[in-house]
């Protein structure tokens, strides 16, 4: 190996040879790229000083896709060639997107290879990963132009409620764009990182992140450079886009006439977004909506706008209250509320946040740029080094299906990551030489209320009596929130491992639905779980009794056997009902009636073990008292 020799004082820093790393906020409406040097982050801007890159892509007949402001201008002339709000489709399948099809300004292709949803634009069939990669390429090009050097590494932010499928899709899009993802960071955590380092903040902070397509609320503890997420909640289908749709529907209702085309819907949405942005700083205005080749004037004032969007804003404050209650925190304990996302510029939103937390929110860092600044700081930390530690959390519990369809949670939700936890499981039947593991995610007590992640089988378990085998199942979640599960039989060392590779057909808003349902049905779920556990225990007792009667029929007198048979039939009949107490009582009665039979079997086993052996031999093998 040859040594690299440099002149004194000219030795490059390790990160300089590896290349600079950038921070990217890949947003629903706008995206931002930033870089950090010596702990100071800055947004990389274009020649006109604009930091925001509209997350809009236009696909011309020939040539490369057009991204950003130029694509947004194309929307006015050729709306059918333009894609926007693609982030709402990341990690989704065609089946899940059907509910959104009426609100999306492009056509969904129902059947796609691999389960990933595709869209059709100007005769092209495109995946959300491909469109997002075009946006990321534009951000990469802006960074390289501003820095005058090649850029191939980045920290990319994602909503806290992005599931494994959406996170994997984001990483794939970056790879297609020629970027290595150093880490996926939750957007609220990135925002807190920007505020924490700039302000040297300590204490509890809430991050209210209302972007174009998602809403997240996170409670973080900031202390001596450690950012720990205590609780998180949100709605992955709630954002500024919903404000725009409400305004657009208001405009179309005022105009009337035939149903608009897809292109006219895009133009109306663009007008609605413009009206919303204008009313952030003015009280009223008038705009033009083009329908059926005619321009229709529409007027909107701020009170009307606030009436249209009030239900969406109220939903965000409901989530704020739920997350604080889950974390056991009162609003008075919050040291500050950080605003993230362009939708937080709306005056009604700021008033609602101030009311919910009892204090004015922090907004001295541009809410459109704060996430990218935090991502840039984390990129510098991962390449150069930092005293800052990010502790994100798992958004939903991870567990294993056990007998009866019950979920045994191995990693509870809101557990800091990265994390590795193990739990022992055992066999259900005598002689069982394999186990099928079903990995699930969710908050409900039974499998049918959770989401399936993966299935794998462990073979090679030595045949033993039920409950004798010891199988250690280990869940490991890395810093990006991606899961690996392994199982090992402790006596033989038989081992199986699976990386959970999500299908793209899973929707991230399922997380929010699961959390809401777990709270609404918590008591019912627990009663159902207890009933299932009672049934599983009853079936175990019936199986054990049947095996014992088959092995030692001579030890069971006829009258006693008849009584046990009657009680077993009674218990079998109860298993089809929902009376848990009756099942438990019948199990106890069956065990009481079988005690004499069990004692005779134990005596027989002892006699067989001692047959042909002297008392001295047995005493010599018996260990003495512990020292």
Q: Is residue 501 part of a domain?
A: yes
**353 shares a domain with 324:** yes
- In the set 163, 187, 510, 533, the catalytic residue is 187
Sign, Cα dihedral of 79, 85, 87, 90: negative
Asked if the structure places residue 271 within a domain, the reply is: yes
Asked whether residue 1 is domain-assigned, the answer is no
Q: Are 132 and 86 in contact (CB under 8 A)?
A: yes
Nearest CA to 388 out of 550, 183, 583, 158 is that of 183
Quick check: is 6 in a domain? no
Report DSSP state, residue 462.
P
User: Is 476 in a helix, a strand, or coil?
Assistant: strand
d(CA 494, CA 475): 17
Catalytic: 552?
A: no
Q: Which of 391, 424, 450 is the last residue of a domain?
A: 391
Verify whether residue 559 is a known catalytic residue. Answer: no
Q: Name the domain boundary from 308, 326, 358.
A: 308
Which pLDDT does position 480 carry in this prediction? 64
* Residue 449 included in any domain: yes
Per-residue model confidence (pLDDT) at position 53: 95
Instruction: Please report whether residue 517 resides in a domain.
Output: no
Same domain, 437 and 570: no
Number of C-beta neighbours around residue 582 at 10 A: 15
Query: Is 242 marked active-site?
Result: no
pLDDT at residue 614, as a whole number = 66
302-327 vs 347-357: helix crossing angle, rounded to 10: 30
Residues 155 and 90 in one domain: yes
Query: Exactly one of 25, 380, 392, 443 is catalytic; which is it?
Result: 25
Do 292 and 349 fall within a single domain? Answer: no
Indicate if 420 and 358 belong to the same structural domain: no
Quick check: is 73 in a domain? yes
> Phi/psi zone of residue 493: left (φ > 0), alpha (ψ -120 to 50 degrees), beta?
left
Are the C-beta atoms of 144 and 150 separated by less than 8 Å?
yes
User: Which CATH number fits the domain that encloses residue 263?
Assistant: 3.90.640.10
Q: Are residues 402 and 368 in the same domain?
A: no
Q: Do 444 and 454 share a structural domain? A: yes
- Number of folded domains in the chain? 4
Which sign does the torsion angle of CA 50, 51, 53, 54 carry? negative
Q: Do residues 470 and 498 both lie within one domain?
A: yes
Closest CA to 490 of 436, 427, 553: 427
Catalytic residue among 163, 209, 489, 533: 209
User: Quick one: 380 and 408 in the same domain?
Assistant: no
209 is catalytic: yes
Give the pLDDT score at 625.
Answer: 45
Q: Is residue 561 part of a domain?
A: yes
What pLDDT sits at residue 514? 44
pLDDT of residue 389: 52
Residue linked to tokens 């605003």: 339
Write down the pLDDT at residue 197.
46
- What is the C-alpha to C-alpha distance for residues 567 and 573, in angstroms, rounded to an integer? 10
What are the tens digits of pLDDT across the range 175-198? Answer: 888 899 998 888 888 888 887 644
Residues 329 and 427 in one domain: no
Tell me, yes or no, whether 211 and 86 share the same domain. Answer: yes
pLDDT for 543-590, tens place per residue? 888 888 888 888 888 888 898 899 999 998 998 888 889 999 999 999
Residues 432 and 536 in one domain: no
The one-character DSSP state at 404 is T
- CATH of residue 610's domain is 1.20.1270.10
Below-70 pLDDT ranges, the chain? 1-19, 93-106, 110-116, 196-201, 224-227, 385-393, 395, 414, 479-482, 496-522, 525, 612-627
Q: Which residues fall within 8 angstroms of residue 250, CB to CB, at 6 or more apart?
A: 300, 304, 308
**pLDDT of 618:** 57
Host domain of residue 561: 522-621
Please give the torsion angle defined by the CA atoms of residues 16, 18, 19 and 22, in that order, rounded to the nearest 10 degrees. Answer: -110
Does the pTM surpass 0.75? The reply is no
The residue out of 275, 308, 341 marking a domain boundary is 308
Q: Residue 86's closest CA among 112, 106, 59? A: 106
């Amino acid at each position: 190996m040859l040594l690299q020799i440099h002149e004194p004082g000219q030795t490059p820093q390790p990160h300089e040879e590896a290349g600079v790393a950038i921070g990217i906020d890949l947003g629903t409406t706008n995206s931002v790229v930033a870089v950090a040097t010596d702990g100071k982050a800055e947004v990389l801007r274009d020649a006109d000083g604009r930091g925001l890159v509209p997350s809009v892509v236009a696909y011309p007949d020939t040539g490369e896709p057009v991204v950003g402001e130029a694509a947004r201008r194309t929307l006015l002339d050729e709306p059918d060639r333009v894609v926007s709000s693609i982030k709402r489709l990341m990690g989704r399948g065609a089946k899940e997107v059907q509910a959104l099809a009426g609100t999306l300004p492009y056509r969904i292709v129902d059947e796609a290879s691999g389960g990933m949803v595709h869209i059709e634009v100007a005769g092209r069939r495109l995946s959300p990963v491909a469109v997002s990669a075009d946006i990321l390429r534009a951000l990469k090009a802006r960074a390289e132009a501003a820095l005058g050097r090649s850029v191939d590494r980045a920290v990319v932010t994602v909503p806290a409620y992005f599931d494994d499928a959406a996170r994997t899709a984001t990483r794939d899009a970056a790879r297609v764009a020629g970027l290595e993802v150093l880490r996926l960071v939750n957007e609220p955590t990135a925002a807190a990182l920007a505020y924490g380092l700039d302000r040297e903040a300590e204490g509890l902070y809430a991050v209210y992140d209302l972007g174009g397509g998602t809403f997240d609320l996170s409670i973080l503890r900031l202390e001596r450079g450690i950012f720990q997420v205590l609780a998180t909640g949100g709605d992955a289908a709630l954002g500024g886009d919903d404000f725009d749709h409400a305004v657009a529907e208001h405009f179309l209702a005022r105009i009337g006439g035939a149903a608009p085309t897809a292109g006219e819907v895009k133009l109306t949405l663009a007008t609605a977004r413009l009206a919303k942005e204008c009313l952030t700083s003015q009280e009223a205005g008038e705009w033009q909506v083009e329908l059926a080749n005619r321009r229709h004037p529409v007027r909107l004032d701020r009170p009307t706008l606030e009436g249209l969007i009030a239900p969406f804003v109220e939903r965000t404050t409901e989530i704020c209250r739920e997350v604080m209650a889950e974390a056991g925190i009162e609003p008075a304990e919050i040291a500050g509320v950080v605003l993230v996302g362009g939708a937080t510029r709306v005056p009604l939103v700021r008033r609602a946040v101030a009311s919910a937390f009892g204090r004015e929110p922090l907004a001295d860092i541009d809410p459109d740029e704060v996430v990218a600044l935090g991502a840039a700081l984390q990129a510098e930390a991962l390449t150069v080094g930092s005293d800052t530690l990010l502790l994100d959390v798992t958004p939903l519990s991870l567990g294993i299906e056990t007998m009866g369809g019950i979920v045994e949670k191995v990693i509870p939700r809101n557990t800091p990551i990265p994390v590795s936890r193990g739990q022992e499981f055992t066999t259900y039947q005598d002689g069982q030489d394999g186990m099928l593991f079903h990995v699930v995610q969710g908050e409900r007590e039974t499998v049918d209320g959770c989401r399936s992640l993966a299935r794998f089988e462990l073979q090679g378990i030595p045949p033993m009596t039920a409950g004798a085998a010891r199988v250690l199942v280990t869940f490991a979640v890395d810093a990006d929130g991606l899961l690996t599960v392994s199982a090992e039989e402790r006596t033989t060392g038989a081992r199986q491992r699976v990386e959970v590779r999500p299908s793209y057909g899973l929707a991230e808003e399922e997380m929010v639905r699961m959390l809401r349902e777990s709270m609404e049905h918590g008591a019912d779920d627990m009663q159902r779980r207890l009933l299932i556990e009672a049934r599983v225990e009853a079936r175990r007792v019936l199986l054990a009794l049947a095996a014992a009667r088959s092995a030692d029929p001579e030890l069971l007198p006829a009258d006693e056997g008849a009584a046990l048979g009657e009680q077993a039939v009674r218990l079998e009949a109860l298993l089809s009902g929902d009376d848990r107490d009756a099942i438990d009582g019948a199990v106890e009665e069956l065990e009481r009636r079988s005690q004499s039979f069990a004692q005779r079997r134990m005596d027989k086993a002892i006699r067989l073990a001692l047959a042909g052996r002297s008392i001295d031999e047995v005493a010599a093998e018996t260990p003495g008292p512990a020292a």
